[in-house]
Chains A and B, each alone.
Chain A
Amino acid sequence: MSENDEQSSGGIITCSAEFSKYLDKFAELFQGHNAPKREAARFAMAIGIQKGLREKRSEWKKSNNQKIATIAHLYGQFDDKGRFDFDSLFDVLELKDNDDNTPIQHLISEYVTGGMRYIKDNELDNLDEWSRMKNDFPHLFSEN
């Protein structure tokens, strides 16, 4: 599937080609979930939201070897059969500007990509390195 195909394919959540392989590797940590790649992408999205790391699709690096990673359809899959209302969530968290017409699936994809960059930079695919999270996300740990 080419990038153009994906752009016209409706509510598909994607990630920059730069992290295609890395996302697969990172998803191995989520084997406790029935859809590890989807859950790993949600994790990356949350990191992106929390740290304000949005990478616009127009700025995504092209790669000759890798294609853009297709993760899941927003409706039914990524939103866990409608359990999570990402439209409302992004709206209430004010994650897009008023003049921003980016479709919701692309907006999510941009935060997923931003989060993936943080994960890669901090080597979170390696479980030895998770104490680093304490500094950037203190609210996740009770002693802080």
Chain B
Amino acid sequence: MRLLEIEMTNWQPYKGAGKNAHKISLDGNNGEKNVIIYGQNAHGKTALWQAIRFAMFGRVLTRISGVNGKSWKPLVASDTKDEPLLNVTAYDEGIYDFGVTIKFEHNGDEYELNRSYSKRSGISIPRRDSQMEETFTIRNLDNGRYIQEKQKFVNDILPEGLARFFMFDGERLMEYRNLFNDTKDVHLRNYIEAILRFPVLTQGSEDFEKMGRTLKGQISKHASKHNKGQAAIEDLLDTESELELQNDILIDFKEELSGYNKNLGAVNEWLKNEEEGKRLLEQQEGFKNQENQANEEIESIEKNMSKALPGAWRAIISNKIEIRLERLEKEIHRQKQQTQRQGEIKIELGHLENRLKGKDCLACGTSLSKPSRIEETQILEDKVELQNEHELLEKERLDPDPDYLYKRQKALTTVKNDMKLDMLISLEEDLLRWKSKKREAKQNFDKASKNVSKDRASKIAENTVKQRDLLKKIGAVEERIQTKKDIIQGLEIDRDRYQGILGSGGGKKPTVYRKAEIKRDLVKNLQDAWDAATEIHREAQRQNVEREATKVFLSLSNKSHLYKKLSISETFQLSIINNQDKNDSASPGQWGLVAYSILDALTTCSGITFPLVIDTPGRSIDDEHLDKTLEYLLNSKKQVIVFPEGSELKPDDGDKRFGHVCAATYQLSQNKVDANITDIILRKTNLRSN
């Protein structure tokens, strides 16, 4: 498929319809098919390449959703705040029609595809996607006919799932590289297998499988009707052959048993003369076990004692702390009481003051009569006495400093611990008991060892183990022999039964039965051959992609002298192999080139003809590599549409270097009146004149 023209109506920032619709032509006078569309960020590059995707598949991914994303842009301004596909200014002006028309050439014919939306009848202002209605047509311009199965027609050109390999954002190039690094990603494997057309082959194998299953069903029906005698002959032959085999195995088992019995006799004879030694050895083993048990107990007791020790230091000084704490608490209590007394004095002084002035009683509110002279003298004396007491208390209350006392009280309380170590003493008693047992067991062991030499002991032990093993083996073989005898008995009964059936005679298979069997074998052979061919094709395709990608990568990389090739494993894991035949970690820039190389190789090997549409091509690679990559792509057989950002490729440089291999170059520019609108300006043109 080759794109010839893209026309956008009120599409994202491209406002305008009819003769004011925005157009990009890709049809060069001398067969030039590439275009370069320059534009600063946010000037509508992405919206333009999304127009192609929209025309094809009717939906556009949001910017944030990534290569595996499933988040779609809304058709009209909505609550989601995602940028809508309908131009915002048009929407504000009450224009609700938008869409994209592309003209393209496919298999020698020219087509016009139009996909557009307008508001549903009865809706005044559409606010949700469901309030918009789609119109989708594809017309063959050579014969004037409309295509009926439109989406199928588009999917036959390029399935939507594979669009990611043809239309991509340089900014997200690394995500493609990451896809190849995740060997467990089933989706990725499916995408890659899809682009290399493996599913078609797998489907072929499944078709054979289906045919095989049908034939097997037919054969089963024939078989059930077939002469019973014929089956009996086969069964008899099978049974006799099985009987022969089972009898052979039985003989082997019996020989094995006889060998074990012979060895056991010899071992028993030897041990008979060593009864006393055996008894001593058993005794030794018993003492050793006792010692081991004592060791385990000792270890466990010591562990328990160790558990009781942390924190014991606080208990050791607990009695000292107790005494100091009591003293401190007394002091604190004294100070509290003195503070309380001071409060009381203050109230009493207030009361006396009121009495002097004949004011109401502070406690009950009763009016107090002015005191007599004698009473006044007494009140004044009481006041002085109380003030003196207050002063004295003020001195004592703050000595020592209450903060000092509280700090020390806290320190003592934190350390104070009343734990008792009784448990340690009872554990110690257990410990001593087990240590004594251990000593006793060891002494007994040593005593028993003196009566049997080391050599003799080891020989007795060896033969005892041998005796035990042999008895175990004999038991197992005897069990196997019995099982075998039961099987043989069953087979003999079957043989007699089949011989009885054979008295009724046999018969040939009917032709239809034999034909079904021949077909089944034929289908099976075809399926095997198909699977083998598929495997060969799969491997050949992997090698093709690896070879193509390597070729492109080595021709573009400025470090090609360091690398040998790109390697793609069976699971599509990607690596750069250096001259030392080792995996090379390489720089991010080199991996950007690898991603380009792989995408180029996959699209080449896929056999699908579709333009490569690349947004911000230089975002993941440096300038030198971008130049080489553009040089390569724009001179390849593919149709290439690139959307460089200003700093990636300056329009004058781009036109000078690549203008001759392009149908045209365009510049995107923000409208001076309305920032929501983008204008498309034609720069260099080799376009066919209509």
Contact = CB atoms under 8 A, between A and B. Distances in A.
A127 B411 contact: no
A93 B328 CA distance: 11
Interface string A101-133: 000000000000000000000000001101101
A30 B312 CA distance: 10
A88 B407 contact: yes
A127 B410 contact: no
Contacts of A93: 317, 320-321, 324
B614 to A, nearest CB: 60
A127 B431 contact: yes
Contacts of A89: 411-412, 415
Main secondary structure of the interface of B (DSSP, over half): helix
Contacts of A134: 425
A74 interface: no
Interface stretch (A16-24, A31-39, A56-64, A65-73): A31-39
B232 to A, nearest CB: 78
Contacts of B428: 127-128, 130-131
B319 A139 contact: yes
Interface residues of B, number: 38
A141 B422 contact: yes
Given A91-B408, A131-B425, A50 B320 contact: yes
A43 B412 contact: no
Contact of A128 (B317, B319, B320, B432): B432
A1 interface: no
Nearest to B298: A127
Contacts of B395: none
A53 interface: no
B421 interface: yes
A97 interface: no
B420 A140 contact: yes
A30 to B, nearest CB: 5
A128 B123 CA distance: 96
A128 B439 CA distance: 15
B100 to A, nearest CB: 68
B407 A142 contact: no
B415 A39 contact: no
B273 interface: no
B307 interface: yes
Given A31-B306, A92-B411, A128-B432, A140 B421 contact: yes
Interface of A: 29-33, 39, 42-43, 45-47, 49-50, 83-85, 88-89, 91-93, 127-128, 130-131, 133-134, 137, 139-143
17 contacts: A29-B309, A30-B309, A32-B303, A32-B306, A32-B309, A42-B313, A45-B313, A46-B316, A92-B324, A92-B411, A93-B320, A127-B302, A128-B428, A130-B305, A139-B318, A140-B315, A141-B421
Given A30-B310, A32-B307, A45-B313, 4 more contacts: A30-B306, A49-B316, A85-B414, A127-B302
A-B pairs with lowest CB-CB distance, top 7: A88-B411, A46-B313, A46-B316, A85-B411, A33-B310, A32-B307, A42-B313
